[in-house]
């Protein structure tokens, strides 16, 4: 078609002709790749929460949909919380999965993601809701009004069957991360599950880091966490595995073994890119 345009259309008129052609071509491409989900897929410039690319967006969504439904046994009638809901890459496939009894609540600190998901997902699926939370994060929301260490999730105790935080604690400092973990435990029903990703530091991951196998190198110690850049600490944060295990125990979150270690540090066997922990809320007091 582009050759036809060049052959038949004067050069000065080609941009005006090419714009609608490119628009239709793009829409057809998205429909072929995503089917009826195409309207929920953001443009490349809005993909702030992971790999940039339509094929990568689809693969990432399919990957985590498998984790939710197979690893975590998410049921269609359950109530789900997604902290760090991003631009919807891990949400769009759920729209056909959660039924009329199920629901989804997304929280995020990036306004463009919340606005996009509200317009493109909530409009067609009202049981999917997204809220902007104005929490400070030096890397993602440096003008945020509230400290993450003091922010209370806007939900009652024991509201959710399942909570997910993917690539959230990999961008939070220790005090903030611990408070969010406490909040996850508070809003989960007893017996509810949470799926959370980390960069976990252990002898095995450090061995690979020393061998220059790792894609990242959180080697600057800030007390309970390690970062890659002291001037922008929340760009990447890692935690000692023993420290994380102790926090889970403190908040009555029972880890379902084994932890699913990730590829980030150069492992040959892995589940996902980051380390992933599935845990269940045990009976008991989860307050600080």
Regarding whether 24 and 162 lie in a shared domain, the answer is no
In this predicted structure, the answer to whether residue 21 has a pLDDT above a threshold of 50 is no
Residue 50, burial from CB neighbour count under 10 angstroms (0-12, 13-18, 19+): middle
Q: pLDDT at position 24, please?
A: 55
Percent of the chain with pLDDT over 70: 90
Segment 205-219 shows an average pLDDT of 96
Q: pLDDT at position 117, please?
A: 98
Tell me the pLDDT tens digit for each residue of 54-107: 999 999 999 999 999 999 999 999 999 999 999 999 999 999 999 999 999 999
Residues 115, 123: Cα–Cα separation, whole Å: 11
Regarding whether 233 and 169 lie in a shared domain, the answer is yes
**CA angle, 184 then 205 then 65, to 5°:** 45
Regarding whether 25 and 166 lie in a shared domain, the answer is no
Regarding whether 85 and 27 lie in a shared domain, the answer is no
Regarding whether 118 and 35 lie in a shared domain, the answer is no
The confidence band for 251, taking pLDDT boundaries of 50, 70 and 90, is: very high
Percent of the chain with pLDDT over 90: 88
Domain count, the chain: 2
| Alpha helix ranges (H) inside 189-278 | 203-210, 241-250
Residues 30, 26: Cα–Cα separation, whole Å: 6
Q: Going along 133-255, which residue ranges are E strands?
A: 160-165, 188-198, 200-201, 220-222, 225-227, 237-240, 253-255
Regarding whether 114 and 222 lie in a shared domain, the answer is yes
Segment 181-197 shows an average pLDDT of 98
Q: Which domain holds residue 16?
A: 1-40
Segment 217-234 shows an average pLDDT of 96
Regarding whether 157 and 31 lie in a shared domain, the answer is no
Regarding whether 215 and 139 lie in a shared domain, the answer is yes
Regarding whether 19 and 132 lie in a shared domain, the answer is no
Closest CA to 259 of 176, 177, 175, 202: 202
Q: Classify residue 120 by its DSSP letter.
A: I
* Average pLDDT value over all residues in the chain: 92
Residues 253, 16: Cα–Cα separation, whole Å: 59
The CATH number of residue 126's host domain is 3.40.50.150
Residue 206, burial from CB neighbour count under 10 angstroms (0-12, 13-18, 19+): middle
Q: pLDDT at position 286, please?
A: 57
The confidence band for 17, taking pLDDT boundaries of 50, 70 and 90, is: very low
The secondary element (H helix, E strand) that includes residue 175 is helix 174-187
Regarding whether 271 and 145 lie in a shared domain, the answer is yes
Cβ(147)–Cβ(121) below 8 Å: no
Q: pLDDT at position 5, please?
A: 46
In this predicted structure, the answer to whether residue 32 has a pLDDT above a threshold of 70 is yes
Regarding whether 75 and 21 lie in a shared domain, the answer is no
Regarding whether 176 and 154 lie in a shared domain, the answer is yes
The pTM of the full predicted model, rounded to 2 decimals, is: 0.90
């Amino acid at each position: 078609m582009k050759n036809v345009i060049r052959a038949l259309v004067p050069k000065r008129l080609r941009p005006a002709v090419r714009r609608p052609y490119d628009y239709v071509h793009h829409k057809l491409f998205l429909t072929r790749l995503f089917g009826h989900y195409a309207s929920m897929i953001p443009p490349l410039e809005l993909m702030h929460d992971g790999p940039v690319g339509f094929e990568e967006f689809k693969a990432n969504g399919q990957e985590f949909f498998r984790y939710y439904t197979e690893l975590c046994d998410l049921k269609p009638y359950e109530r789900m919380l997604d902290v760090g809901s991003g631009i919807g890459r891990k949400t769009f496939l759920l729209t056909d999965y959660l039924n009329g009894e199920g629901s989804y609540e997304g929280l995020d600190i990036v306004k463009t993601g919340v606005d996009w998901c509200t317009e493109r997902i909530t409009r067609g699926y009202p049981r999917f809701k997204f809220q902007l939370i104005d929490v400070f994060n030096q890397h993602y929301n440096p003008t945020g009004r509230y400290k993450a260490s003091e922010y209370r999730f806007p939900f009652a105790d024991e509201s959710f069957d399942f909570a997910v935080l993917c690539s959230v604690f990999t961008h939070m400092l220790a005090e903030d991360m611990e408070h969010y973990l406490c909040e996850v435990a508070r809003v989960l029903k007893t017996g509810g599950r949470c799926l959370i990703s980390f960069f976990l530091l252990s002898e095995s991951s450090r061995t690979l880091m020393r061998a220059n196998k790792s894609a990242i190198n959180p080697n600057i110690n800030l007390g309970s966490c390690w970062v890659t850049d002291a001037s922008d600490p929340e760009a990447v944060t890692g935690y000692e595995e023993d420290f994380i295990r102790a926090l889970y125990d403190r908040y009555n979150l029972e880890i379902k073994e084994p932890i699913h270690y990730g590829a980030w540090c150069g492992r040959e066997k892995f589940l996902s890119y980051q380390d992933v922990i599935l845990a269940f809320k045990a009976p008991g007091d989860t307050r600080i």
